[in-house]
Amino acid sequence: MGAAVVALDEEVFTGSNVENASYGLSMCAERVAIFSAIAAGASKVERIAICCPKADPNRSNQLMPCGACRQVMAEFMSADADVTIDGVGTFKLSVLLPEPFRFQTK
């Protein structure tokens, strides 16, 4: 799987799945791309494109971002940001995760 994000300054950052024998330590392409942008100094991500060429194109649920990736997107993207999923379509982040967790300080 691969992903590319566009930061607010139009710089593009890419990511790919990083698998690990201990599955919980794996990292999805979406988070790798977002974290690469943030590590390089971007404050926000404007949009993301996701591609999963090995998934069954007839089962769009196999192509969708996982919950962890959706939550990370909600932290670093606006609710109206575009999430383009190859073979499925383009969605607003708010459609994919309508009620994200938000930490509020007093």
The CATH number for 23's domain is 3.40.140.10
Residue 104 lies in a domain: no
- How many domains are contained in the chain? 1
Q: Please identify every residue annotated as catalytic.
A: 30
Residue 103 lies in a domain: no
Give 80's DSSP letter. T
- Has residue 2 got a pLDDT over 90? yes
Short-list 42, 34, 39, CA closest to 16: 34
- Has residue 74 got a pLDDT over 90? yes
Residue 54 lies in a domain: yes
Q: What is the domain range of residue 70?
A: 2-96
Residue 101 lies in a domain: no
Query: What percent of the chain is modeled with pLDDT above 70?
Result: 98
Amino acid 101 reads: F
